[in-house]
Amino acid sequence: MKATLILANGSVFTGRSIGSTAECVCEMVFNTSMTGYQEILTDPSYAGQGIVMSYPLIGNYGVNHEDNESLRPWASAFVVRHLSPRGSNFRCEGTLDAYLKQYNIPGIEDVDTRALTRILRSQGSMNGMLTCAEHFHVEEALERIRAYRVEHTVERVTCAEPTDLEAHGDRTHRVAVLDYGVKRNIVECLRRRGCAVTVFPASTPAETILAGGYDGVMLTNGPGDPADNTAIIREIRKLYNSDIPIYAICLGHQMLALATGARTGRLDYGHRGGNHPVRDLEAGRVFITSQNHGYMVLSDTVDPAIAQVSHVNVNDGTCEGLRYRRPSCFSTQFHPEASPGPRDTEYLFDRFIASMGGVQ
């Protein structure tokens, strides 16, 4: 079946429908990863977004239940150059096409994803519509496309109630994880290091966390504009004003910065992929990182009396981490748990454990 992708700038791409035939409007972004498409689809940070995979062959190893980063995929749409009709891997439990159909996610293949990526990179991430309709009016579609905004996404992806998860092995610490769109492997990285974890809904009051006797707090990744989450930011400020150890990742990193007086801004086309070089200024080393974000902390708005930039993106110099003057508090923009991507920066989980009084 024919499918059409219309971008907000008026560009039109035609190809073949994959997955669901539902029509959708979403923000179109690109990801440069060569593998890990299932982890990408199930990353809650993609809620409200359509993903363009720049690597030309996707789906060649199928899907399986073990690689999900959450209970379901959150991406609104999926765009590829070529979708493998079958998965070839001993862990394969089904095809990617069937997986997209199962969760009603529309997609398109046989489009020039290189040309599409160049548009999104040069003109910036923009909204788009994916449709299988034979007849449509481009001007009417453009009105809908340009009116769309990614919003209320944290409320969509967060858990409904607290969940307790025991440590793998002997328990050494108890950690409260505030779920703004947490990935499973963030929790698993903590559990493997002896942490019993309680995952809390995003709207949980700070008082509940502070009264729970936890050794530390993890502020997680998630979707959308960080500045939209004003109520959550107020609670983060209360956590910051306590003495509980805090480690914040991605959206959590941005909201913690907002809670302490810094500002955030939108990147032109975002950082999404598993090969982004980041310099750890303290260690004097460059690490290859996994990233997925469209916003950044503006380095020149960070009060040096409150925090200092600890990591920078080698490609564009943007802020990738903050070390706070307040004891036992730091944050990173990139994903130390990877999944997909390199695991070079898992040492940051060890740093978090050490901040709670652990020995690694």
User: Could you tell me if 124 and 250 lie in one domain?
Assistant: no
Domain boundary among the residues 150, 172, 193 is at: 150
- Asked if the structure places residue 52 within a domain, the reply is yes
User: Could you tell me if 135 and 15 lie in one domain?
Assistant: yes
User: Could you tell me if 130 and 255 lie in one domain?
Assistant: no
What is the rounded CA–CA span in Å between residue 304 and residue 306? 5
Which entry of 276, 293, 311, 335 is annotated as an active-site residue? 335
Q: What is the CATH number of the domain that holds 294?
A: 3.40.50.880
User: Could you tell me if 46 and 121 lie in one domain?
Assistant: yes
pLDDT of residue 307: 98
**Residue spans of the chain under pLDDT 70:** 358-360
User: Could you tell me if 89 and 197 lie in one domain?
Assistant: no
Domain span holding position 86 = 2-150
With contact defined as beta carbons under 8 Å apart, do 336 and 189 qualify? yes
User: Could you tell me if 191 and 125 lie in one domain?
Assistant: no
User: Could you tell me if 336 and 322 lie in one domain?
Assistant: yes
Active site residue 188: no
Specify whether the backbone of 142 is left (phi greater than 0), alpha (psi in -120 to 50) or beta. Answer: alpha
pLDDT of residue 358: 53
- Asked if the structure places residue 28 within a domain, the reply is yes
Active site residue 253: no
3-state SS class at 170: coil
Which entry of 26, 195, 250, 319 is annotated as an active-site residue? 250
- Asked if the structure places residue 125 within a domain, the reply is yes
User: Could you tell me if 299 and 197 lie in one domain?
Assistant: yes
Which entry of 39, 69, 235, 337 is annotated as an active-site residue? 337
pLDDT of residue 360: 38
- Asked if the structure places residue 360 within a domain, the reply is no
Domain boundary among the residues 150, 168, 183 is at: 150
pTM for the model? 0.96
What tokens appear for 229 in the block?
């989450």
pLDDT of residue 359: 43
Active site residue 293: no
User: Could you tell me if 242 and 303 lie in one domain?
Assistant: yes
- Asked if the structure places residue 258 within a domain, the reply is yes
Phi, then psi, of 216 in degrees rounded to 5: -165, 165
Q: CA 291, 41, 11: angle at the middle one, nearest 5?
A: 85
pLDDT of residue 281: 97
Q: How many domains does the chain have?
A: 2
- Asked if the structure places residue 305 within a domain, the reply is yes
192-217 burial code (b ≥16 CB/10 A, e <16): ebbbbbbbbbbebebeebbeeebbbb
DSSP 8-state assignment for residue 299: G
User: Could you tell me if 34 and 108 lie in one domain?
Assistant: yes
Q: What is the CATH number of the domain that holds 99?
A: 3.50.30.20
User: Could you tell me if 19 and 85 lie in one domain?
Assistant: yes
DSSP 8-state assignment for residue 204: -
With contact defined as beta carbons under 8 Å apart, do 153 and 224 qualify? yes
Domain boundary among the residues 109, 127, 150 is at: 150
User: Could you tell me if 21 and 131 lie in one domain?
Assistant: yes
3-state SS class at 41: helix
With contact defined as beta carbons under 8 Å apart, do 182 and 198 qualify? no
